[in-house]
Amino acid sequence: MTSMRDWMIWPDNIVLSVLVLVLIAMVGLYAVRAPMHGIIRTAAYALATALRLAARWLFAAAAAMKERNKAVLLAQGRREVGQRIEREFERVGILVTRDLQGYPVLQRKLLEAITRIEEDYKKCGEVPPPPPDWVEAVAAVAQIKSGGGEVVEKILDEIRQSVGRIHEKALGEYRRAYEERHDILEGALPFWRSIDATLKQVDKKMSDLAENAETVDEQMKKYRQIAAKTDEAESILSHSAFTQFNIAVIVLTIALGGAFVNFKLIALPMSEMVGAGDYITASLRTSEVAALVIILVEASMGLFLMEALRITHLFPRISNLSDRARRRMIWISLTLLVILASVEAALALMRDMLIADKQALLQSLAATAPAASSEGWVGRIPTAGQMVLGFILPFALAFVAIPLESFIHSARNIGGSMLADLIRMLGFALRVLGNLTRHLGRLLVHFYDLLVVLPLMVEHLVKSLRGGRAAVSRRRLDSTGELKS
């Protein structure tokens, strides 16, 4: 084994030995200075180039991924908005069909009412016959002087009496005519009201239609933006995806809580069916796995039910089934769900019985008086509660399909977006590292020169001396005029 002293030229004088060794090393390093500079520069350049290339590739990959994410996001958005527009059109269609179906009746009703009112109006316009022409004759008779004698007076009196009678008759006719017109007008009142109500109805339907049309317009605007692949549409959809993701995560967490309660309800009684001492792995009991499987089967049935009802669209094959097959599927999954829920309710009851049995055993082993159990319906509340929970939870779990679909769709966008960001960050880090490597190469070159500073100084001195002599000789040549630089 070599020690430091073996390297010493003069073991007794370490300082001098080290100094000489350093000088030798300096000379050696100076001798290989140029190739070493080359090696350092080449290595740094190669590494920096590789890193920059990798960074550029990552940036390109991130850009491609972003583009792909955008395409997926826009496609999803287009599909969703398209479905919404479709639904709105369906709604408008139903509204229009329903109202247009009733429109001829409505129109007939309106026309009848208007005709009736017109007739009544015309009837109201019928004036009683004008007073007869003999009025003028009466006026002439009235101008006859009464001093004509008894006969004339008698005649005049008879004329007056008959005119009075005629007048009363005419007046009565006028009154009757006006009464009739009032009656007609009174009779027209319900028709006016009916027209008013009908018009209001029409107005309401028209405003509903207008509202729907507005919604369709909004959706169409959104659809156009998506189709145009605008940044605004992407931003809105991306924001919507984040919101959907968060909501789906919250709801799924709640559903997981429900599933855990469900699991606790059936894990113990399942041991009565598949045995409590059977293990699948060192710490995983078969009964627990069986309980978990039942819960997962329930969730799957719920998923199929939602798919068959076309509430979710995770399996295109199911939604593309014929209506008859879909209806069959609805009934099958619903029946299975009901059966599983009933099994769970029974298991919940069994769990209560097992716990009670175990409790009784422990009490008998502890030789203590049994705890006073609450008799009657109060004592049965927990059992009933467990059974109800056991029956309801599978149906509640069935609805997990809806947030699950949202989660899956939004997770694709969120995950893709995060991955693209991650790749971009990695690319940035590689680019920084590449630049650092390049600068490190330069730094190493300078550091190498620092190690051979003394030979370099000598070199500079020699060069400057040579340079000085050359300058002096050039000046001399200039002064003689023989040579000009």
Q: Name, in order, each residue with C-beta under 8 angstroms of 69's C-beta and a sequence gap of 6 or more.
A: 413, 416, 417, 420
Q: Which is nearer to another protein, 244 or 287 (CB)?
A: 287
CB of 347 to another protein, least distance (A): 13
Taken in order 100, 106, 110, 112, the sign of the CA dihedral is positive
Under DSSP, is residue 285 helix (H, G, I), strand (E, B) or coil?
A: strand
In angstroms, rounded to a whole number, what is the distance separating the alpha carbons of residues 268 and 288? 8
Identify which of residues 282 and 371 has a Cβ nearer to another protein in the complex. 282
Is the CB of residue 311 less than 8 Å from the CB of residue 319? no
Q: Which is nearer to another protein, 72 or 354 (CB)?
A: 354
Q: Comparing C-alpha atoms, which of 433, 416, 429, 432 is closest to residue 63?
A: 416
Q: DSSP assignment, residue 484?
A: -
Q: How far is CA 344 from the centre of its chain?
A: 34
Give the nearer residue to another protein in terms of CB position, either 77 or 269.
269
- Supply 17's token pair: 């030995």
Least Å distance between CB 367 and another protein?
A: 8
Is 272 or 449 the residue whose CB approaches another protein more closely?
Answer: 272
| Nearer of residues 187 and 275 to another protein, judged by Cβ | 275
End-to-end CA distance of the chain: 63
- DSSP assignment of 98-158, as one string? HHHHHHHHHHHHHHHHHHHHHHHHHHHH-PPPPPPTHHHHHHHHHTS-GGG-HHHHHHHHH
Q: Calculate ∠ Cα 230-234-240, nearest 5°.
A: 145
CB of 290 to another protein, least distance (A): 13
Task: Return the structure tokens found at 113.
Answer: 């009412």
- Residue 279 DSSP class: B
Cβ atoms of 185 and 121 within 8 Å: the answer is no
Pick between residue 173 and residue 357 the one whose CB is nearest to another protein: 357
346 versus 426: smaller Cβ distance to another protein: 346
Shortest CB 285 distance to another protein, Å: 8
* Whether the Cβ atoms of residue 355 and residue 272 lie closer than 8 Å to each other: no
Minimum CB separation of residue 373 from another protein in Å reads 17
CB of 360 to another protein, least distance (A): 8
Round to whole Å and give the CA distance between 292 and 227.
45
Structure tokens at 65: 């991924």
Smallest distance, another protein to C-beta of residue 272, A: 5
Q: Tell me the Ramachandran region of residue 281: left when phi exceeds 0, alpha when psi lies from -120 to 50, beta otherwise.
A: beta
Q: Please name the amino acid found at residue 342.
A: S
Q: Is 375 helix (H, G, I), strand (E, B) or coil?
A: coil
Q: Which residue has the tokens 């792909």?
A: 68
Quick one: 291 or 398, whose CB is closer to another protein?
291
Closer residue to another protein in complex, CB, 283/373: 283
Query: Smaller CB distance to another protein: residue 104 or 277?
Result: 277
Nearest to 139 by CA among 163, 161, 157, 169: 163
CB of 77 to another protein, least distance (A): 31
* Site residues, another protein (CB under 8 A): 268, 271-272, 275-282, 353-354, 357-358, 361-362, 364-367
